[in-house]
Amino acid sequence: MIELTEQPIDVGRVIQRVCRPTAGAVVVFLGVVREDGQTAKTAALEYECYRQMAEAELEKLQSEAASRWPGVSCAIVHRLGRVPAGETTVAIAVSAAHRDDAYSANRWLIDQLKVRVPIWKQEHLTDGTSRWLSQPPEGESR
Amino acid sequence: MNVRLRLFAVMRTTLGRSHVELELPDGATVAQLRSKLAEDYPALSPLLPTCLFAINGNYARDEQTIPSDSEVACIPPVSGG
């Protein structure tokens, strides 16, 4: 399951898409808009994408994950448009027979998504200013 | 050939438009497209070193040639997630 949506993400539905009778572990990553901008508080993040290519890149990630970790099943849903602080921007669910593969594949998917998939976010601050964000430092997630 | 280049994010808001038309020699490479873009739109020039380009939805290297009638896009550093 790959989805780019303007609507709030239904995390339960994302999880459901990877549940399998053979899966003994499900790992979920949620990216959430946090409030702490550098000069003023973050009011919202606004996402845009190159849809056709973003969907294709997400499909590639999904199949690459399936060949790296045979048997895993994954679902990736990314929000577009304006997302207020506190709301989910991306949900990645991965199921596998055992937790090691589910954790590894999930971590790999979010890391790859952040460097490969043509999606961009603009930060709107509470003081009315806004700026385009580039890839945050390693290990930091927005 | 005439190339219609799609712009996104900081590139789009810097110019205030979502695409530009560029006149390039037939068989031009991505590197030539990059130079022509900087020449025709100096406002984008400081942003270009960190940008990638995509041809028909796939990332393209600088030495790759641009087929006529392909969809070409400028991809500034991505920030999904």
Domain CATH number, residue A98: 3.90.1170.40
Give the separation between CA A14 and CA B42, rounded to whole angstroms. Answer: 44
Number of separate domains in chain A: 1
The topology under which CATH files domain B2-75 is: Ubiquitin-like (UB roll) (3.10.20)
Out of B10, B78, B81, closest to residue A118 by CB: B78
Q: What is the pLDDT of residues B25-46, one digit of tens each?
A: 999 999 999 999 999 999 999 9
Give the separation between CA B64 and CA B70, rounded to whole angstroms. Answer: 13
Pairing of strands A130-132, A119-125: antiparallel
Out of B13, B54, B78, closest to residue A135 by CB: B78
Test A119 with B75 for CB contact under 8 angstroms: no
Average confidence score pLDDT of chain B: 97
Out of B8, B13, B50, closest to residue A118 by CB: B8
Residue range A68-97: average pLDDT?
97
Test A121 with B76 for CB contact under 8 angstroms: no
Residue range A96-102: average pLDDT?
98
Nearest CA to A110 out of A90, A126, A127, A128 is that of A90
Out of B13, B50, B78, closest to residue A119 by CB: B78
Interface residue ranges in chain B relative to chain A, Cβ cutoff 8 Å: 6, 8-10, 13, 50, 54, 57-58, 73, 75-81
Which H or E element spans position A41? none
In this structure, is residue A137 part of a structural domain? no
In this structure, is residue A126 part of a structural domain? yes
Q: Is the pLDDT of residue A137 over 60?
A: no
Banded model confidence at residue A139, pLDDT cuts 50, 70, 90: very low
In this structure, is residue A14 part of a structural domain? yes
Regions of chain B with pLDDT less than 70: none
Pairing of strands A25-32, A88-96: antiparallel
pLDDT for A38 equals 65
Contact list, A134 vs chain B (CB under 8 Å): 50, 76-77, 79
Query: Domain residue spans in chain B?
Result: 2-75
Residue range A52-60: average pLDDT?
98
Nearest CA to A136 out of A39, A31, A40 is that of A31
Give the separation between CA A16 and CA A1, rounded to whole angstroms. Answer: 11
In this structure, is residue A141 part of a structural domain? no
The number of angstroms, rounded, from the C-alpha of B13 to the middle of its chain's C-alpha atoms is 15
List the domain range (segments joined by +) for residue A71: 2-132
Test A56 with B73 for CB contact under 8 angstroms: no
Beta strands in A1-142 (DSSP E): 2-5, 25-32, 42-49, 73-79, 81-84, 88-96, 119-125, 130-132
